[in-house]
């Protein structure tokens, strides 16, 4: 087995989490016994014969259904290994399939089988893109249209939860049964929420857009609750932080908000945001900071949840209705999804620089959100565009990273 025995002194280090076979796959060769992830060094240990301590020597991959501060070191290690070896092809292509345009889709969700589910906004039917077959299909089920839902998340059971915007009810799409259901719970109208994240306990946090309070959906109990805390101004998108809290990206708001699901409280972050539709969507960087994607703003912002500091990184963006959402590329850079610009932008957090990649986009509020697929390409979700776009390629993150609530969301 790929273990080595380590000195007993390691047992005096704080063990932050105990992982059992029922929670995630065991490393190859270990069929029983206790696993413990040491948060101090991100190393996985096991109890060996005679209570010796064994250190796992192989690569560790996370289980996408498990998130939170105890497992984040495993995600961070997997992400770092991919970043160190990945290359991204600077190529933009147009895949097969025609979309309806007219604000059709807002955000997408990567399904466990590798296909991309496009969340209906203005459209009354969804679309699913298969990157292997290069085929676009219309699954069963109808939706309210009228921007009833804005973005979605992947539940632990593999279904997709659609976050309500103008609709007073959510929707859940089951890709195995190919059916849409309406879960329990009533939501406020008026573009209430845009996107959300799956919390470490499996519930869904619906991020406020114009609503002044969030909503949390429990897929096990099939019920909606209103958590504590109020929001001032508008927000657009959110990010699950390594410590299990949720950062809400300011749009017209001039301060950020963080929701803590353990304490059930909302706090205001340090730093002043510009307001005026500044940002749409946030991307969790490999180092745990959050990159806010510029929409009307001509500069990005990066929030550090550890130091509670906000910085303005290098780089100038076009402003106007610039970019809506972003994707963490396999090499650790951020790909910004174009709305009106005819070219994307890529931000490199290591070099702290912005570059313009190859490829021409149609403009005209073309896309809203993107999804990184298993082959390393970014699928740009069509809003007004009648065709999608694919950028990149050449390897990707482990599928468990791609499906995780840290990245499989808007």
Between the alpha carbon of residue 70 and those of residues 76, 315, 319, the distances in Å are 11, 34, 39
What number is the average pLDDT over the span 315-336? 97
pLDDT digits (tens, 9 = 90+) for 289-298: 999 999 999 9
What number is the average pLDDT over the span 352-373? 98
Q: So what's the pLDDT on residue 44?
A: 55
What number is the average pLDDT over the span 215-231? 98
Q: Which residues pair with 108 in a beta bridge?
A: 118
What number is the average pLDDT over the span 13-22? 34
Query: Whose CA is closest to 203, among 251, 241, 158, 155?
Result: 155
Residues 407, 401 contacting (CB under 8 angstroms): yes
In the chain, what percentage of residues exceed pLDDT 70? 86
Of 33 and 153, which is predicted with more confidence? 153
What number is the average pLDDT over the span 227-242? 97
Q: So what's the pLDDT on residue 71?
A: 87
Of 156 and 32, which is predicted with more confidence? 156
Q: Which DSSP symbol is given to 146? A: T
Q: Which DSSP symbol is given to 314? A: S
Q: So what's the pLDDT on residue 62?
A: 84
pLDDT at 163 over 80: yes
Q: So what's the pLDDT on residue 70?
A: 84
Find tokens 């390594």 and name the residue.
242
Categorize the per-residue pLDDT at 398 as very low, low, confident or very high, splitting at 50, 70 and 90: very high
Residues 111, 160 contacting (CB under 8 angstroms): yes
pLDDT digits (tens, 9 = 90+) for 28-70: 444 444 455 454 444 555 555 554 445 555 567 788 999 999 8
Categorize the per-residue pLDDT at 243 as very low, low, confident or very high, splitting at 50, 70 and 90: very high
Burial degree of 316 (CB within 10 A; 0-12, 13-18, 19+): exposed
Question: Over the chain, what is the mean pLDDT?
Answer: 89
**pTM (global) more than 0.95:** no
Categorize the per-residue pLDDT at 268 as very low, low, confident or very high, splitting at 50, 70 and 90: very high
Cβ neighbors of 78 (< 8 A, separation 6 or more) are 59, 60, 61, 62, 397, 398, 400, 401
Give, rounded to a whole angstrom, the gap between the first and last alpha carbons of the chain: 40
CA distance 114 to 153: 15
N residues, the chain: 410
Domains and CATH numbers, the chain: 3-60 (no CATH), 92-403 (2.130.10.10)
3-class state of residue 267 by DSSP: strand
What number is the average pLDDT over the span 18-31? 39
pLDDT at 142 over 60: yes
Q: Which DSSP symbol is given to 76? A: H
């Amino acid at each position: 087995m790929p273990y080595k025995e380590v000195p007993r002194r390691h047992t005096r280090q704080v063990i932050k989490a105990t992982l059992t076979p029922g929670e995630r796959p065991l490393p190859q060769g270990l069929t029983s016994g206790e696993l413990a992830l040491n948060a101090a060094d991100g190393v996985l240990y096991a109890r060996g014969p005679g209570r010796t301590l064994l250190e796992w020597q192989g690569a560790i991959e996370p289980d996408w259904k498990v998130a939170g501060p105890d497992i984040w070191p495993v995600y961070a290690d997997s992400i770092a290994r991919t970043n160190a070896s990945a290359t991204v092809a600077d190529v933009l292509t147009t895949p097969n399939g025609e979309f309806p345009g007219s604000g059709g889709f807002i955000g997408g969700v990567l399904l466990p089988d590798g296909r991309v589910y496009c969340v209906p906004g203005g459209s009354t039917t969804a679309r699913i893109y298969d990157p292997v077959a290069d085929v676009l299909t219309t699954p069963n089920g109808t939706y309210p249209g009228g921007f009833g839902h804005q973005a979605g998340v992947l539940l632990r059971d593999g279904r997709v939860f659609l976050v309500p915007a103008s609709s007073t009810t959510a929707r859940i799409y089951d890709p195995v049964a190919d059916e849409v259901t309406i879960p329990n719970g009533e939501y406020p109208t008026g573009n209430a929420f845009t996107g959300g994240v799956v919390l470490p306990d499996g519930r869904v946090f619906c991020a406020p857009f114009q609503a002044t309070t969030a909503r949390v959906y429990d897929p096990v109990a099939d019920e909606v609750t209103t958590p504590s805390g109020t929001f001032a101004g508008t927000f657009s998108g959110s990010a699950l932080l390594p410590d299990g809290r949720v950062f809400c990206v300011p749009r017209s708001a001039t301060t950020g908000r963080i929701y803590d699901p353990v304490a059930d409280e909302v706090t205001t972050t340090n730093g002043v945001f510009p307001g005026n539709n500044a940002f749409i969507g946030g991307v969790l960087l490999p180092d745990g900071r959050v990159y806010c994607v510029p929409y009307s703003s001509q500069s990005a912002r990066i929030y550090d949840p550890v130091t509670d500091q906000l910085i303005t990184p290098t780089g100038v963006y076009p402003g106007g209705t610039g970019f809506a959402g972003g994707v963490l590329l396999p090499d650790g850079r951020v790909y910004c999804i174009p709305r009106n610009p005819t070219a994307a932008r890529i931000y490199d957090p290591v070099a702290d620089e912005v570059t313009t990649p190859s490829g021409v986009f149609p403009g005209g509020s073309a896309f809203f959100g993107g999804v990184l697929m298993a082959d390393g390409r970014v699928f740009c979700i069509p809003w007004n565009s009648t065709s999608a776009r694919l950028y990149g390629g050449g390897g990707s993150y482990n599928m468990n990273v791609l499906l995780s609530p840290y990245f499989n969301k808007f």
